[in-house]
Amino acid sequence: MAKSPSKTLDAYAEEALSALKQEGTYRQLRQVEGLQGVRMQIDGRAALIFSGSNYLDLAAHPALIEANARATQECGTAAGGSRLIQGNLTLHESLECELAEFFGTESALVFNTGYMANLGVITALASPGDAIVSDSLNHASIIDACRLARASTHVFAHSDATSLEAILRELAQSTKKPSKIFVIVDGVYSMDGDVTPLDRIVEVAKHYGAFVLLDDAHGVGTLGKNGRGSAELFGEAIERAIDLRVGTLGKSLGSFGAFVTCTQAVREWLINTARSFIFSCALSPGSVGAARAALHLVRKEPWRRERLQANAAYLRQRLAETGFSSAPSTTQIVPLIVGENAKTMKLCERLLKRGFFAQGIRHPSVPRGTARLRLTLMATHTESEIDALVEAILDSWRAES
């Protein structure tokens, strides 16, 4: 006779949830209503939005909505299968050609999410006998992919080229040298808003014969003269030196999905070995249509990223004037470190009551003791709205102190 478990799954769940509540890391979903934009409804309250990743305010742009609807009308609501069976639509191939042309690479391949892109790319290309050298603050999807890849993983101090070089030197001097070495960094770090020093990272990586993988989820569309992201800030030579770039279609491009830019040979390699690509339904036609329209607007309307970065600079300046530091941010992601979990979430709720949504972020998204408000800007925020946010933060902070 089968043995019954000593406790129900619900009992285990209650224990785990109780522990999270004691630690101050228990999370709940918020209800968001309304058209994506600067003003929406959060948990039934009208609020100015300073928390999302719709940086260029394209998610409700008429051109994207029209392109989404047109692609849906022409192809249906779903791709109908995985890309290797029947889901490889002309729309997918067209978007990939346009992405490759935009970034100046031979090829591109679309994935369903940024998480799936990192998981698919890293586990496909890195194998036992290889080495991965990863920044200490890389995104969770990179960390998980490194674990699954079964290559030896080494972590260097955040954005520290000297730390990176020490690891690469040790690998080069090892009696059992790795077959391939991958250096993996974020372009813009999603919790601090700082840009990785790609020029120095690339220089060191290439000196030791390593391949460079850049996850530029928050840089694509928002940085660089042409919107090509963090690598563009450092010039064409650095852009060309990047072996693979992962980007997202769901943040600044206002749609859904992700992509990797690479050579044609690497694209074919990924198509044949990236499990998160092979064993998943293809992106819906509507999402692909919207992404293509967004890519056109990124080219056509540079004022959006210019205004976005001007807004971010203005917010950092206003915070500094009131005594708050947003270091090390230099982008549209502006952290306001609070420290304690409970204090952070109280501040978040106080702001929401006043009509501002700035989500509190706690461990494990950030290191313990660095809980913060993660303020994010949009191209269409006004200076008066930013002023109002800063005043509300100051008043709410004083009320909590």
CA distances from 34 to 40, 57, 353 (A): 5, 14, 18
How far apart (Å, rounded) are the C-alpha atoms in residues 371 and 7?
A: 34
Q: Any long-range contacts for 295-299 (C-beta under 8 Å, 24+ apart)? A: 295/95, 295/98, 295/99, 295/102, 295/253, 296/63, 297/56, 297/58, 297/61, 297/63, 297/64, 298/56, 298/102, 298/221, 298/227, 298/252, 298/253, 299/102, 299/226, 299/227
How far apart (Å, rounded) are the C-alpha atoms in residues 67 and 44?
A: 30
Verify cis geometry, omega within 30 degrees of 0, for the bond prior to 328.
yes
For helices 285-300 and 303-321, give the axis angle rounded to 10 degrees.
80
Name the residues annotated as catalytic: 190, 218, 251
Q: Within 10 A of 197 (CB to CB), how many other CB atoms are there? A: 14
Going edge to edge, which strands form the sheet with 356-357?
A: 32-33, 39-42, 45-49, 356-357
Spatial neighbors of 188 by CB under 8 A, at least 6 apart, are 194, 195, 196, 216, 217, 218, 219, 222, 223, 230, 331, 333
| 108 membership: H or E segment, kind and range | strand 107-111
CB 213 within 8 A of CB 254: no
